[in-house]
Chain A
Amino acid sequence: MMTAEEIWRILEQVKDPEIPAVSVVELGMIRSVGVEGDQIIVTLTPTFIGCPALQMIQSEIEARLLQAGAPEVRTRLSLSPAWSSDWITSAGRDRLKAMGLAPPPRHEGQLEAALLVEVNCPYCGSSKTELKNDFGSTLCRAIYVCNACRQPFEQFKPI
């Protein structure tokens, strides 16, 4: 049977299909991994309740672990504690930025205050940016434009 360390390493290869640069581990979606008898159990927390990529992520986790030799895999969903964008790791934040997606400000539960924080342009770093739409091409993104370099960009929303 695989060790927890091996399981985590495989999970690091599973990407959110809507943000292919970042793994589900870097997004902070994986709550725990465990082994019960012949079964590997991965518990994960959805980023948004209605996230349409969730089922794909679950089947990808199952497929990767089976491929690596796990006899049986189950994924479980856990809504508590609720996923927070604060859980995205530092490496995950760097990767988001590198793909042109501004990382979410850390809010420590004060989400309404975080919505007023300036967002830096992931291209030129300027804080002269403007919110254009609270909703973008996926549930987790908002649309901004940078008034310094004139580049439109998306932000991973604080949630």
Chain B
Amino acid sequence: MDSSLLHDFREFLFALADDELILGHRASEWCGHAPVLEEDIAFANIALDEIGHAAAWYSILAEVEGQDPDLYPDQLVYFRSAEDFRNAQIVELPNGDWAFTMLRQYLFDAAEKTRLAALKRSAYQPVAQVAEKMLREELYHERHTRLWVLRLSRGTEESHRRMQSALEACWPYMAQLLAPTSGLSRLAGAGVAPEAQTWLANWQATVLPFLETECGLILPTEIPPALERSVHTPHLRVILAEMQSLPRQEPEAQW
């Protein structure tokens, strides 16, 4: 892969990996606190899957950069500063209530599922392979969170109100989550990653009618433009401070 394409590819992989890591971390914060025991177990499983997906993308980054696949992922997770993370802001936001958590996870899972389906055809074999594997796991996530969104939207007046306000809270962040990473069209030209439009249309065709018709929610009309993925909310620093404190104090720690 030539060096200009390599830069685009790194940006793309960092976006995928960092989104999974930070959202997985947020999901793990519910462990021991979810509304019911079964859901505690379910959501902890989802958190574990997402962090596993992050690890797989970081391993591909290690391969692309010629780094040690056993050591490099930890380096990236524990010793990078907030400004070097490329996750979208939506995954950094605090968990809020259960409605917000489920809706954010659903919107993310639906996007991940459609993007992975397209990534299965990547000309870069390791990406195609990992995408195929992740997609099977993601089917379970999306099925689970979709049911929660439906159940809360059509449950009580209170659960509906909370789901509507979750939608209003998530929506302004969606453009950044779904926007193509820098140089994506060059990657698409090389067959490495799909153009955003190819899977975005699928995402819209699934998600929008579901939210409006099945859930009876009102989609916000104002959508602010997408920010660069290098721009973060102050919440990311707080997550990283917690996540990185141990390895930064004891870089040799083993457990």
Contact = CB atoms under 8 A, between A and B. Distances in A.
Interface residues of A, number: 23
Given A82-B133, A134-B144, A51 B52 contact: yes
A137 B41 contact: yes
A121 interface: no
Nearest to A133: B38
Which of B45, B51, B140, B143 has the largest count of A CB atoms less than 10 A from its CB?
B45
Interface string A77-91: 001111100000000
B202 interface: no
B56 A49 contact: yes
Interface residues of B, number: 27
Interface string A130-143: 00111111010001
Interface in A141-159: 143, 157, 159
Nearest to A84: B136
Nearest to B128: A80
A159 B139 CA distance: 9
B81 interface: no
Interface in A107-121: 111-112, 115
Given A82-B136, A135-B45, A157-B140, A50 B130 contact: no
Interface string B54-96: 0110000000000000000000000000000000000000000
A83 B42 contact: no
Nearest to A132: B38
Contacts of A34: none
Which of A52, A133, A136 has the largest count of B CB atoms less than 10 A from its CB?
A133
A134 B133 contact: no
Given A79-B129, A82-B132, A139-B48, A49 B137 contact: yes
A79 B52 contact: no
A144 B129 CA distance: 31
Contact of A111 (B38, B56, B130, B136): B136
B53 interface: yes
A137 B38 CA distance: 9
Interface in A39-61: 48-52
B134 interface: yes
7 contacts: A80-B126, A115-B143, A132-B38, A134-B140, A139-B48, A139-B49, A159-B137
Interface of B: 38, 41-43, 45-46, 48-53, 55-56, 125-126, 129-130, 132-134, 136-137, 139-140, 143-144
Given A50-B49, A133-B41, 5 more contacts: A49-B56, A82-B136, A135-B41, A159-B136, A159-B137
The 9 closest A-B pairs by CB, nearest first: A50-B52, A80-B129, A135-B42, A82-B133, A49-B52, A135-B45, A50-B48, A133-B38, A159-B136
Interface of A: 48-52, 79-83, 111-112, 115, 132-137, 139, 143, 157, 159
